[in-house]
Chain A
């Protein structure tokens, strides 16, 4: 388990990193290293160059900008998880981060690394899809923004070009009266999800659901936005029956993998169970929030 030889470049700026990525045949970005380093050690990844971002301090921040929350790609999971702004404005993100690996992993892993890696069973890509986050990418030709829903399109496959760098993730602030819930099924605490459901439901003044944002991890080759379940809930009072019906729709849309940890059928069935639990819990929280608790 020793990596094959590679060159190492410590990036001095975002432009420098982009230039390095463009210059090499097969360069890899080193951020937190929580996924990359094991792949290197097992020689499953054999880049020619590692471009290390860790000295780019200006890529690590959490700030409120234009009604959105902007988070620098190099911000560590733990920093985001514990940031007061995140807890207040995008609580679903904070809830989800608590499920990423263990604290030691979150101290090192970065939010941009997790998004760019694009593991369909990981929490961050799924939350980004649920909340319509946008990703700022920079390449040799300049900057572009890609919506989370257009970013992930297959197992570990994203819209990121080899010579592009993800620099920032922008999160819409959740409206007042929103309740959030994460339901995740893992074999052990801290493992990748067999299935996880992320839900943010907003209750209007009349007690009906005005906005629903739901996504599923571990349910398909890419994180899944459960639009059909959302549509079923909007305008309803989210009774137990409503929650169950929406969760069944959610499960029907999944195309989960079959592997040694669980068969696909099991995962699909669990998507329904976790979906129902997440919807009910999120709605209960929305209720409490509206009651001023």
Chain B
């Protein structure tokens, strides 16, 4: 790459340093890890949705040539100290499911791990799975929310009174009064299909439990190595000094790889049993049952408003269709749907409830957006429906209710929104729609067999998670600070050590830009080291919740500032000048106005590490390294407005996206190229969620979508060009002003697409209340008014 000048690197559209490796096939993913003597494991998965496990006979599998070990749920349970951890516990009286890495006693969903085999190779391990005899005493299954909540429904947990894991209500103001006094009340129920993130690289682990040192060395495709290390320690009852988690290149995370899965523990136990490294890779087929599912909810919402469109109250209930046991994040994502139900609107009275219901389906875990796509869909659709009821322009209803710029920090039912210019952002989007002639295109299409509509959504996005103490008080059983280390070596080059994980999102380049600008060195002089708990610092939580660039960037910025002060003190001594009279540019420190009097960063490095005497000031310790821990005082809210131009075929129900734009504010932008990429990817997943993707279960509890032929991810052919419009309102409480933006594209898309579809079919009164919008469903809606699941 060409030399980049350090000045102005923050905000520069520089190419990503990691891409040449990734694009030329030089990346090394977890399946590329091959260790001497390594075994390959495979998991036997339940073929039934709900059953008592009467007996497991592994003798034939154990006798199979090439098989080294077979473990069952009971054996795994005996080997662990605790159930699989659930770290989000914001509802104190929630009934926990206490699941284990493999099923113990009962199987509660198709695909739940029953036993595991370690063998010389994966094919042999799969052969051995066929030789395990399991006797199931099948039980009636509850495969839908309605079945689970029915009176006399079969219970997943015998000791519970019903299938409800938790109920909680988040109040603000006086909702009853707001509804009693309302001019109009609008009610609607929304349904969201089950969906999941589908990283091209499925999950995987290589665990080596060394029988001589008793150290557990793990290669893991994860977003949260420090969390994984702590959870390995808890579950296996091992102090964490004996556990190392390394993360190779990760082929996409999308939240799925934030969670801590049973297979990871199983691999460690199989390694301990065999004394060999054990690789366990989730294949594509099993990824559709073993990877965290997400999104499936029913959301009931009521809006109270005045006759001129001012929203005075919102009441909602989120029914979380949880699976057979709780995943690492428990009720977290569904709780967040309720917590953010009022979105970007200034609503005085809000009451949002969440009801967590277990069903015989795969566990509900993390997926990009983490509950927010549903809250966004709910409030944006409700605004559109309110506008329809009042015969107002939905944009006017938005303008009337958006939180005004002078109302920040704004107390929403749970979070303090830190700041923003929401109305301006909406204007940016509507101006762009006007300037690009969308209104004309819509009018021209009217009256033909295909009609065109325009839809909008306005989203808020919680990022920069988060203040550790407050998160602990809210129920998170983990911290959320970030620690970064910035070091200049003896040759004057810079290395940033981070606990954040590189998932293909460009975090190395982003952190390098921050360090390079602060230190005054060329971008190529900065290396960012990720992915090793032995050598990298500790980040709380992990690389999720849109926090890496924001908190990591903030911490790198502060550490680099302090490191630069030391550089200037050393340079001041060498140049016989006061540090405040020095400037740094392109890796050289010079006296202001006397460019000939200068010293290079390499000479500073040499003076700090090697030829110290006479060059490193007497009162300075050798080495050049700073460590910064940043625990933010608050989360940061990014926001944006999505506009979609869509075409509907009235004969087939097909929806085609013609144009798509996002106006967006994520505070100070480190690299617009990376922000664009994150928004593009997020929007692609929003399109998948709105129009294509659905994990389907049959009435028998069997999942029917276990390949990409049936689970329809959108491809490049289905995705329009995206246009992005950036605003920058720096976060005042984060050094550098950076906010996160990893999820915004995903959050706002579906509501805008649904709005465009409804607009295209306005004459038919269609109201889209369920996702995904498939051609048969849309055609039916044209006849009966509502797009139903």
Contact = CB atoms under 8 A, between A and B. Distances in A.
Do A and B form a real pair? Answer: yes
Interface of A: 1-5, 38, 42-43, 185, 187-192, 194, 260-263, 266, 269-270, 273
A188 B717 contact: yes
A188 B692 contact: yes
Contacts of B126: 2, 4, 43
Contact of B127 (A1, A4, A189, A266): A4
A273 B775 contact: no
A10 to B, nearest CB: 21
A2 B654 contact: no
Given A1-B284, A2-B126, A190 B717 contact: yes
A266 B780 CA distance: 9
Contacts of B715: 188-190
Nearest to B704: A260
A13 to B, nearest CB: 31
Interface string B682-721: 0000000000101010000000110101101011011000
14 contacts: A1-B283, A3-B123, A4-B126, A5-B127, A38-B707, A187-B775, A188-B714, A189-B715, A191-B709, A260-B705, A260-B710, A261-B710, A261-B774, A269-B779
A1 B285 contact: yes
B569 to A, nearest CB: 60
Contacts of A266: 775-776, 779
B651 interface: yes
B652 A270 contact: yes
Contacts of A270: 652
Interface string B123-151: 10011000000000000000000000000
| 5 shortest interchain CB distances as A-B pairs | A189-B717, A2-B123, A266-B776, A1-B283, A273-B651
Nearest to B283: A1
Contact of A191 (B283, B651, B712): B712
B172 interface: no
Nearest to A269: B779
Contacts of A4: 123, 126-127
A262 B710 CA distance: 12
A203 B97 CA distance: 70
Contacts of A261: 710, 774
Contacts of B694: 260
A171 to B, nearest CB: 29
Contacts, number: 56
Interface in B342-384: none
Contacts of A188: 692, 712, 714-715, 717-718
A188 B717 CA distance: 8
B273 interface: no
B122 A192 contact: no
A263 B776 CA distance: 8
Nearest to B284: A1
Contacts of B714: 188
A260 B705 CA distance: 9
Interface of B: 122-123, 126-127, 283-285, 651-652, 654, 692, 694, 696, 704-705, 707, 709-710, 712, 714-715, 717-718, 774-776, 779
A3 B714 CA distance: 28
A50 to B, nearest CB: 15
Nearest to A262: B776
A262 B122 CA distance: 36
Contacts of B712: 187-188, 191
**Does more than half of chain A's interface fall in helix, strand or loop, or is it mixed?**
loop
Given A1-B284, A185-B652, A260-B710, 12 more contacts: A2-B122, A2-B123, A4-B123, A185-B654, A187-B712, A188-B712, A188-B714, A260-B694, A261-B710, A263-B776, A270-B652, A273-B651
Contacts of B709: 191-192
Nearest to A192: B709
Contacts of B707: 38, 42
Contacts of A43: 126
Contacts of B775: 185, 187, 194, 262, 266
A258 to B, nearest CB: 11
A12 B686 CA distance: 51
Contacts of B718: 188-189
Chain A CB within 10 Å — which of B715, B776, B779 has the most? B776
Nearest to A43: B126
A188 to B, nearest CB: 6
Contacts of A185: 652, 654, 775
A266 B783 CA distance: 13
Nearest to A270: B652
Given A260-B704, A270-B652, A273-B651, A187 B122 contact: no
A135 B692 CA distance: 38
B284 A273 contact: no
Contacts of A192: 709
A251 to B, nearest CB: 13
Nearest to B713: A188
Nearest to B694: A260
A74 to B, nearest CB: 25
Contacts of A1: 283-285
A196 to B, nearest CB: 12
A260 B692 contact: no
Nearest to A38: B707
Nearest to B697: A260
A270 B649 CA distance: 12
Nearest to A259: B704
A103 B23 CA distance: 21
Contacts of B696: 260
A260 to B, nearest CB: 5
A194 B653 CA distance: 13
B324 to A, nearest CB: 21
Contacts of B710: 260-261
Contacts of A263: 776
A4 B652 CA distance: 42
A261 B775 CA distance: 9
Nearest to B653: A266
Nearest to A260: B696
Nearest to A267: B776
B204 to A, nearest CB: 13
A43 B706 CA distance: 14
A188 B283 CA distance: 24
A4 to B, nearest CB: 7
A192 B708 CA distance: 12
B578 to A, nearest CB: 65
Contact of B285 (A42, A187, A273): A42
A104 B289 CA distance: 28
Contacts of A269: 779
Contacts of B654: 185
Most chain B beta-carbon neighbours within 10 Å: one of A42, A261, A269, A273: A261
Nearest to A263: B776
A154 B709 CA distance: 21
A37 B127 CA distance: 18
A15 B717 CA distance: 43
Contacts of B283: 1
A262 B777 CA distance: 9
Contacts of B705: 260
A192 B651 CA distance: 20
Contacts of B651: 273
Q: Which of A1, A269, A270 has the most CB of B within 10 A?
A: A1
Contacts of A189: 715, 717-718
Contacts of B776: 262-263, 266
A46 B119 CA distance: 21
A269 B714 CA distance: 25
A266 B775 CA distance: 9
Contacts of B123: 2-5
A191 B654 CA distance: 14
Contacts of A38: 707
B86 to A, nearest CB: 30
Contacts of A191: 709, 712
